[in-house]
Amino acid sequence: MSATGRLVIRTDRCRGCRSCQLACSFARTGEYSTSGSCIEIERDLRTEGTSPLIHTICCDLCGGRPACAEACTYGAITFEPTSSAAIEYRKGAHGDVD
């Protein structure tokens, strides 16, 4: 990651709509394709819950304005400006850290 800031992933808010995945792909490649995204949507077969998984090897935080956070209407991915780059996963109603 070259930009600074923190992506906060709230796993309990993900609905599996893939908006984040498509926005990431478009920001990176100019095409809406899940294969061009740094994000995979994981599904827990036991609970049927979904969660975005960000691959940090290719994520550059879109230069400080992450397309995935802007596209997520459920608040599952948000961006917080900070002095360093990070991705933080939280779960639960109170935002407990994984």
Domain boundaries, the chain: 5-92
Q: How many CB atoms lie within 10 A of CB 11?
A: 18
For position 43, what pLDDT does the model report? 79
From the centroid of its chain, how far is CA 97? Answer: 15
**Does pTM top 0.85 for this prediction?**
no
Helix/strand/coil (H/E/C) assignment for every residue in the chain = CCCCEEEEEEHHHCCCCCHHHHHHHHHHHCCCCHHHCCEEEEECCCCCCEEEEECCCCCCHHHHCCHHHHHCCCCCEEEECCCCEEEEEEECCCCEEC
Series of mean pLDDT values for 10-residue runs along the chain (98 residues)? 82 89 95 91 78 80 94 94 87 51
Average confidence score pLDDT of the chain: 85
**Strand pairing of 39-43 and 85-91?**
unpaired
